[in-house]
Amino acid sequence: MTTRAECVARDAGDPLAPLRSQFAMSGADAEGVIYLDGNSLGALPAATAARVAAVVADEWGVGLIRSWNTPRLGGPHSGQTGWIDLGPRIANKIATLIGANPGEAVVADSTSINLYKVLSAAMAIAKTRGDSVRTILSEGTNFPTDLYIADTIAREHGFNLVLVEPDEIEAQLVRGVAIVMLTHVNYRTGRMHRMAEVTRAAHHAGALMVWDLAHSAGAVPVDLNGTDADFAVGCGYKYLNGGPGAPAFAWAHARHVAWMDQEQWRQPLSGWLGHAAPFAFTPDYRPGAGMSRFICGTPPMLSLAALECGVETLLAAAPYGGIAAIREKSIALTDLFIALVESRCAGHGLTLVTPRVIEDRGSQASFAHATGGYQVMQALIARGVIGDFRAPDILRFGFTPLYTRFVDVWDAVAHLEQVMTTGEWQEPRFNVRAAVT
């Protein structure tokens, strides 16, 4: 079995180790915190506080409204360009992480709102095909918001939402589907769909493919153009480290963007900044060219500044092997965690629900505990090992290779072993449910 000394040695030889300094982890280290929840909220980049402070004090405080146009007006820490260019600049940086070309993605709103927009586009395209099929296919275990949004828009447009188990998707496609909507990495189990294979199967059945990249962008290799996907959305505050509630992103394949431009298609939340000439302030709406039509209202500058800092922590991995190196370490971290839990916590009711096959696993490891999942996680958090719980029985541990170390994995499992063997998790204090789990 792997020893702690061996984990320390692996960290010393880790090519990504220098990237940990990009994050404000010193306070967590001093408190003995082991952070394994970057799949829910990424850690704070060290550059973010100063960058946001500069936006407040310099760009807003000094530049005032002039900062929409003028770069670096406020001081040395101000942005590279005016505010109006910040969203497109970040979108192009994210594009490099998801296999997209410049100009093919936009940063705006939340994942939920963007999903509503792209599903609307996919449904409009499906209708133009003259096909009588009006089915959106997804998993019953997909993230609830995705299902709520899909159900709502399906009802509005005469479609129906069909939910199946992951292994039933191919069989359902044979029956006829207009749109397949899946999250690349399942939020509870960490199961990862094989994007190229699923997209190919959807297209073979005549369906459009919509991907939610919330739990994969920045953690695993994603190639939207290479796999010929149709639409995608994703989150800015998980592996992209953009901060709580960071803006999300949306993407559409160039063939669909061309159709939208030709048909002058407008997304259902048409806002002033998505207008072809937003500062003409005309009463009639004309959608902007390309993906700009997916923009709604005024972008949040403080949040965008923080998001850019987060995205840059991933771009900084390029000299060290980029997303391929991140993925390689992710596999090593999750492999180690799974092996240690199963060897050191055997007999305590923990059941692995994350796939063992690495091609089917995201950057997390989840274990079920039938009687005390929530309590076990609360006991761990009290010890400084921060993961999270997902109903009804999942302990979820996320691994962010930019700052998670092998020794963190070893120490986290040592705490878990103590929590389980002593029965500490059964203390009444850990049975009190917080509002956020």
Judge if 115 and 23 occupy the same domain: no
Inside any domain, residue 60: no
Share of the chain above pLDDT 90, in %: 90
Domain span at 359 = 4-45+321-431
Judge if 291 and 172 occupy the same domain: yes
If pLDDT is split at 50, 70 and 90, which confidence band does 72 have? low
Judge if 281 and 215 occupy the same domain: yes
Inside any domain, residue 148: yes
Inside any domain, residue 64: no
Inside any domain, residue 51: no
Between CA 66 and CA 68 the distance in angstroms is 5
Judge if 166 and 297 occupy the same domain: yes
Amino acid sitting at position 413: V
Between CA 6 and CA 403 the distance in angstroms is 18
Between CA 129 and CA 274 the distance in angstroms is 26
Q: Is the pLDDT of residue 75 over 80?
A: no
Amino acid sitting at position 89: R
Between CA 324 and CA 222 the distance in angstroms is 10
Active site residues: 143, 212, 237-238, 396
Q: Is the pLDDT of residue 73 over 60?
A: no
Contact between 397 and 364 under an 8 Å Cβ cutoff? The reply is: yes
| Cα 364 to chain centroid, rounded | 12
Long-range Cβ contact pairs of 317-322 (< 8 A, separation 24 or more): 317/16, 317/19, 317/402, 320/15, 320/16, 320/18, 320/19, 321/15, 321/16
Query: What is the mean predicted confidence (pLDDT) over 399-426?
Result: 98
Between CA 9 and CA 136 the distance in angstroms is 49
Between CA 340 and CA 352 the distance in angstroms is 12
Judge if 366 and 269 occupy the same domain: no
Q: In the structure encoding, which two tokens stand for residue 326, read together?
A: 């991140």
Q: Is the pLDDT of residue 76 over 80?
A: no
Q: In the structure encoding, which two tokens stand for residue 234, read together?
A: 């994703």
Q: In the structure encoding, which two tokens stand for residue 296, read together?
A: 């709604």
Between CA 116 and CA 159 the distance in angstroms is 14
Inside any domain, residue 332: yes
Judge if 225 and 298 occupy the same domain: yes
If pLDDT is split at 50, 70 and 90, which confidence band does 26 have? low
Domain boundary among 315, 332, 353: 315
Query: What is the mean predicted confidence (pLDDT) over 221-245?
Result: 98
Query: What is the mean predicted confidence (pLDDT) over 307-333?
Result: 98
Q: Is the pLDDT of residue 79 over 80?
A: no
Which candidate, 243, 229, 317, 252, places its Cα nearest to that of 91?
Answer: 252
Inside any domain, residue 52: no
Judge if 293 and 336 occupy the same domain: no
Q: In the structure encoding, which two tokens stand for residue 14, read together?
A: 């880790």
Domain boundary among 315, 338, 355: 315
Judge if 311 and 325 occupy the same domain: no
Judge if 291 and 332 occupy the same domain: no
Domain boundary among 292, 315, 338: 315
Inside any domain, residue 67: no
Say how many C-beta atoms besides its own lie within 10 A of residue 366's C-beta: 25
Out of 52-66, 187-201, 254-268, 274-288, pick the least confident: 52-66
If pLDDT is split at 50, 70 and 90, which confidence band does 176 have? confident
Q: What is the pTM of this model?
A: 0.95
- CATH number of the domain to which 349 belongs: 3.90.1150.10
Judge if 333 and 288 occupy the same domain: no
Inside any domain, residue 32: yes
Q: Is the pLDDT of residue 77 over 60?
A: no
Judge if 410 and 292 occupy the same domain: no
Split into its structural domains, the chain has a count of 2
pLDDT at 424: 97
**Residue 356 CB-density burial (10 A; 0-12 exposed, 13-18 middle, 19+ buried):** exposed
Between CA 274 and CA 331 the distance in angstroms is 40
Cα–Cα distances (Å) from 319 to 223, 334, 354, in that order, read 20, 23, 31
Judge if 106 and 174 occupy the same domain: yes
Average pLDDT of the chain, as a whole number: 94
Rg (CA), the chain: 22
- CATH number of the domain to which 278 belongs: 3.40.640.10
If pLDDT is split at 50, 70 and 90, which confidence band does 30 have? low
Between CA 201 and CA 195 the distance in angstroms is 10
Amino acid sitting at position 128: T
